[in-house]
Structure 1
Amino acid sequence: MADAGFKSTGAVNRPLHHDSALEHVAGTARYVDDMPEAPGLLHLAFGLAADGHAKLLSLDLEAVRAAPGVVIVLTAADIPGVNDVSPVKGDDKLFAEKEILYPGQPLFVVAATSVAAARRAARLGKAEVEPLPALVTIDQALAAESAIEDTQVMARGDAAAALAAAPHRLTGGLEMGGQEHFYLEGQAAFATPGEGGQLHVLSSTQHPSEVQHLIAKVLKLSHADVTVEVRRMGGAFGGKETQAAAYAVACALVAAKTGRPARIRADRDDDMAMTGKRHDFAVRYDVGFDDAGRIAGVRIELASRCGATADLSSAINDRAMFHADNCYWLPAVEIVSHRLKTHTVSNTAFRGFGGPQGMMAIERVMDAIAAARGLDPLAVRWANLYAPGRDITPYHMRVEDNVAPELIEELAERTDYDVRRAAVAAFNASHRVLKKGLALTPVKFGISFTTTHLNQAGALVLLHADGSIQLNHGGTEMGQGLMIKVAQIVADVFAVPVERVRVTSTRTDKVPNTSATAASSGADLNGMAAYNAAQQIRARLADFAADRFGGAPEAVRFTGDGVVANGEIVPFEALCRMAHIGRISLSSTGFYATPKIEYDRAAHRGRPFLYFAYGAALSEVVIDTLTGEHRVLAVDILHDVGHSLNPAIDLGQVEGGFIQGMGWLTTEELVYDDRGRLLTHAPSTYKIPTASDRPRRMDIRLWERGRNAEATIHRSKAVGEPPFMLAISVFSALTHAVAAAAPGKGLPSFDAPATPERILAAIEELKARDG
């Protein structure tokens, strides 16, 4: 396939360091809370609901207002516009009014002269409430038929008939917990009032335009009166796609009311209590298959805890359905999705956006079939892979770019899978307490927003007369290396060193109406928009050079030595100066809308993704059957990023995604009480992976033959979310290790995260089985 005009001149496909790497190391990279304190700065803290579901009868804030340093206290009654900070459904209030939906819901905000004064005062509010019954768990919500929307069904073929006719049939299920984002930089915002009621807001958000629009909605302003700026975030992982809005809106409200700048930096405990997590899921499956483990029909039922309001749960649960096939052809399939409303904080976007939960379901099915038939789990996976003539997804999209078989085969050969599997079996036969497990699992992850209109991006490129370049686009930098990638793309267009490109803050007054930096599409969308902007300027320079030096514009070449026109080599900066004097425009906007995608959500049919990203991981683990402790011993990863824009950045994303996924499935456990209060709301009670949890041997490689079949920017592929699901190999390996503790008893009943308690319980359940 042709490369659609992308011809690299040297800046792309190179392993350059992150554009802020030196500042990160030196501690000079500025985040919201690093900005110098302006005169009159007010510090904010939210007053939070202590209990769960309840009627809010009254709110006594006299002690809050009288506390030292307090300047103003605001509630829902002080909002000039609409009390709503939701992304879609209009059901997320900035401050509770008549009903408290969950523990930790904001009731008011206090602004004081210091952080300490604001936080102390916020604890003095007294809410009179009438407690109401609280639905906290998935089972409780299912029993009460409490949902944020109707149950959704995605199907192809007659699953019931295929199940009835299959030679073998198996039912089962698993549960998987949620996950706290635990970004290094907590939720933060800084609002500064301007002339004529205008506001400038620094926000740690993945979605500056949405924050802008919500500020305008709450304060009854026009979008043009509000500018939201993001230079960088200290991590986000989806947790700042929608839920950064409340913090920014509160700051803007205080700034508008007082005429003074206002800033908030959430306390970690408050942050964890106030913000949503990855959706926890319960899965049930009914699968029919033949002697070789090949699936004939399957029914998968997904139920997720969405929380008190809709947030992005509809789209997240849709994506779980989209990925319940992973890399496998399901001849007859029915996927049922329950989206449950509970009196807990509303869950939200998290890396993978529902995809990991759907993928966990089908990977458990593969392991269950293998155990039932006494087969190698990789052989069962291989037998069910998509292939020519077996390539239509449950949502009726054809899989046209399937490289999963090649990746799996290459990884299995390179890692001596068969030899290592035999070695694990030998180890388990000779060890009574320690048991090992080994698993190779693949990943197929769809790239594009499944809400079609979000697949667009804009950019602004400014070429100065000295040959330096300023770049602005709608994407946000949360540590993932988006800015350096897009800078490389622009530098490549002009054949100049990437150091000439200055990436500026993402601002709503430079590129308006942008989509969130999410869905792994940041480089795809913004890179192409920036490329289109730069190409327009390059075309003007080529026309000018041809007119000045002779020859045809298409014959003008941009090289590392300068611009070549009719035999003349002109330094790039000299040509820029000439063009400026010649009154040639040296700025341009660029725009990109993802082609080929369309989706009928009511029918759950269409092409929601432009392409798929693929990967495979082999993980080896060991468990202690007496304590339930485990360790990941070795990991081998082969991941497809297409033609990598920046291999160094991409390798870092693969490693980070895998480790974060490993944390979700092994150590990160969220615990709520029977009123919906989060009990694991601090590092002392919530265990994220540390350096010591990283496998001692971790071999990560980008697939050398990777090229995107679609005309993405330089034939690259997205890398933000897909590697997260490679960690499913760890959970699968742990499942096999637990099974080895009671040979011949089948697959254990085993849920995630695989804490020591769950490992021990699974072993005991397995040993107690008959047979």
Structure 2
Amino acid sequence: TGKRHDFHYTYEVGYDDKGVIDGVTVDMTSRCGFSADLSGPVMTRALCHFDNAYWLSDVTIDGFCGKTNTQSNTAFRGFGGPQGAFAIEYIMDNVARSVGEDSLDVRRRNLYGKTERNQTPYGQVVEDNVIHELIDELEATSEYRARRAAINEFNANNEVLKKGLALTPVKFGIAFNVTHFNQAGALVHIYTDGSVLVNHGGTEMGQGLNTKVAQVVAHELGIGFNRIRVTATDTSKIANTSATAASTGSDLNGKAAQDAARQLRERLSAFAAERYGAGQVAASEVRFVHDRVVVGDVIVPFEEVIAKAYVARVQLWSDGFYATPKLYWDQSKLQGRPFYYYSYGAAVSEVVIDTLTGEMRVLRADALHDVGASLNPALDVGQVEGAFIQGMGWLTTEELWWNTGGKLMTHAPSTYKIPTVNDTPPDFRVRLFKNRNAEDSIHRSKATGEPPLLLPFSVFFAVRDAVSAVGNHKVNPPLNAPATSEEILKAVGAVRAATAAARQ
């Protein structure tokens, strides 16, 4: 089966003595297998996420799709975004160590600004930047500085075990790079007993999409969540659906369902004003709250209004549609505004490694993620937790390898190691950043699906920090992802060799 495209990077970077990047060139080559599949769009998304949360004044990014004698690779959560952003984080980590500064300080100096230093390499202006405030909050709540000092002391007193710490940011663009995919439809039916049926074009796959859409409709009609039933996606009801991908499921389908429900509410408001208002109440003044319809001083149960509207031959169903505004993209120039808005986040991870065996444990992880005005905090926290563990597996244990004939040998749970419950950090703190989307998304919320997959970059770079402690942080460890025990041991050996050579 298809796997995520693995990437190989070569780069050159210029920076000053404080680690501020003056210019960078990078070549990203992906393993695509014997056929292209989604390799082109995956690389485009990687190119648009190379900057991650950093302003790069002068940058050249080249992406190459490599044809190989292996099965074709495909898209997975993040769709190339994680691979693109990983490269600049590796560069930042190298630059910080090269100038002898804490990696967090170097990352801060390179962040996008609010009103200047805010244009991406592909031409979009970052208008909703909250990364500075978010990192400030996480640095304080995670006690980053105190823990850094404690880890330095631990490493000075331990030869075999070494601890590492890293804080990494996330800026992730939300929308399909292909503009016409950013559309959705929905149907909302109200039955004479006051129950409501919703059908939309998104696919529920355990992420809570149906719950969020039902909440949106319930809120728009002022009724209880228990009145709503969402039926399975069916293109005989909602045609020409876009993929439930690019983290747009709730954004697109929530807005489409809201549009349908709003049409129904306005239709019912006009009826209720005429039926119960005696000409004294305008339709715009009718309110739908707590399963009741309030018309001036008259309060009527929702189901009663529906029953009487049916008798009065008021249409009790409606279709809704939504198309994301402000998007444009020139594929030939790779310039434009491919994203409606950005989701932000940051995470701090603390790890310990055994320099004799290469074993690694994540001791604590603190994640703070921006989901705007959350539609459902319980679902969103669950998505962040799941994405963190999933991304941690991608970067630490889930190694793919092929034999010389191009056959994938890591093909089963016995050889392909995903994280287990035992790999979950014993101290795992996930919080949502208080924020409202600057753009008119559904109830000013933000997407939650893909962006938090980048939060466990902090795990990988904490491992790299621990390895670098072997050489007193004077050597940039040549650590590849995933940072398996074997890769950690190789990197430890390389750091020791480089340190010994420097002493001679």
Aligned partners of 1:371 and 1:746 also within 8 Å:
yes
Cross-structure match for 1:620: 350
Q: Give the letter for the 2:59 counterpart.
A: V
Cross-structure match for 1:341: 67
Aligned positions of 1:77-92 closer than 5 A: none
Cross-structure match for 1:310: 36
In 2: Cα distance, 1:651 partner to 1:375 partner = 33
Cross-structure match for 2:217: 490
Give yes or no for the alignment of 1:569 onto 2:286: no
SS in 1 for 2:304: helix
Aligned partners of 2:198 and 2:230 also within 8 Å:
yes
Q: Which of 433, 449, 452 in structure 1 is aligned with 2:179?
A: 452
1:536 is displaced (CA, Å) by 0.6
1:567 is displaced (CA, Å) by 2.0
Aligned positions of 1:619-768 closer than 5 A: 619-704=349-434, 706-743=435-472, 745-768=474-497
Cross-structure match for 2:128: 401
SS in 1 for 2:455: helix
In 2: Cα distance, 1:745 partner to 1:398 partner = 37
In 1: Cα distance, 2:287 partner to 2:146 partner = 54
Q: 1:312 to 1:294 in 2, by over 3 A?
A: same
Cross-structure match for 1:172: none
Q: Give the letter for the 1:380 counterpart.
A: V
1:64-85 Cα deviation digits (max 9, x unpaired): xxxxxxxxxxxxxxxxxxxxxx
SS in 1 for 2:162: strand
Aligned partners of 2:98 and 2:474 also within 8 Å:
no
Provide structure 1 residue ranges, at least 5 long, that are not aligned to the other structure: 1-274
1:197-231 Cα deviation digits (max 9, x unpaired): xxxxxxxxxxxxxxxxxxxxxxxxxxxxxxxxxxx
In 2: Cα distance, 1:419 partner to 1:566 partner = 59
1:563-608 Cα deviation digits (max 9, x unpaired): 0113211100111111111111111110000000101011111000
Aligned partners of 2:97 and 2:474 also within 8 Å:
no
Give yes or no for the alignment of 1:332 onto 2:332: no
Aligned residues: 496
Q: Give the letter for the 2:427 counterpart.
A: R
In 1: Cα distance, 2:35 partner to 2:144 partner = 46
SS in 1 for 2:197: strand
In 2: Cα distance, 1:561 partner to 1:499 partner = 11
Structure 1, 736-745 or 551-560: larger mean CA deviation:
736-745
SS in 2 for 1:541: helix
Calculate the TM-score normalised by the size of structure 1. Answer: 0.64
Q: 1:561 to 1:280 in 2, by over 3 A?
A: closer
Give yes or no for the alignment of 1:558 onto 2:274: no
In 2: Cα distance, 1:379 partner to 1:559 partner = 49
SS in 1 for 2:446: coil
Aligned partners of 2:97 and 2:475 also within 8 Å:
yes
Give the percent of matched residue pairs that are identical in Structure 1 and Structure 2.
59
Cross-structure match for 2:240: 513
In 1: Cα distance, 2:23 partner to 2:267 partner = 58
Q: Which of 260, 269, 280 in structure 1 is aligned with 2:6?
A: 280
Aligned positions of 1:210-359 closer than 5 A: 275-359=1-85
In 1: Cα distance, 2:262 partner to 2:3 partner = 41
Calculate the TM-score normalised by the size of structure 2. Answer: 0.97
* C-alpha RMSD of the superposition: 0.8
In 2: Cα distance, 1:346 partner to 1:581 partner = 59
Give yes or no for the alignment of 1:442 onto 2:166: no
Which protein has the larger Cα radius of gyration, Structure 1 or Structure 2? 1
1:532-578 Cα deviation digits (max 9, x unpaired): 00111111111111121232111111011510113211100111111
Aligned partners of 1:561 and 1:569 also within 8 Å:
no
Instruction: Write out the 4+ residue segments of structure 1 that deviate beyond 6 Å after TM superposition.
Output: none
Q: Give the letter for the 2:9 counterpart.
A: V
Q: Which of 97, 100, 103 in structure 2 is aligned with 1:377?
A: 103
Aligned positions of 1:46-125 closer than 5 A: none
Aligned partners of 1:745 and 1:767 also within 8 Å:
no
In 1: Cα distance, 2:191 partner to 2:307 partner = 8
Q: Give the letter for the 1:758 counterpart.
A: E
In 2: Cα distance, 1:310 partner to 1:501 partner = 42
1:352 is displaced (CA, Å) by 0.7
1:652 is displaced (CA, Å) by 0.0
1:680 is displaced (CA, Å) by 1.1
SS in 2 for 1:317: helix
1:746 is displaced (CA, Å) by 1.0
Aligned partners of 1:615 and 1:639 also within 8 Å:
yes
Q: Which of 422, 431, 456 in structure 1 is aligned with 2:149?
A: 422
Give yes or no for the alignment of 1:524 onto 2:254: no
SS in 1 for 2:456: helix
Aligned partners of 1:443 and 1:616 also within 8 Å:
yes
1:289 is displaced (CA, Å) by 0.4
Aligned partners of 1:597 and 1:607 also within 8 Å:
yes
1:101-140 Cα deviation digits (max 9, x unpaired): xxxxxxxxxxxxxxxxxxxxxxxxxxxxxxxxxxxxxxxx
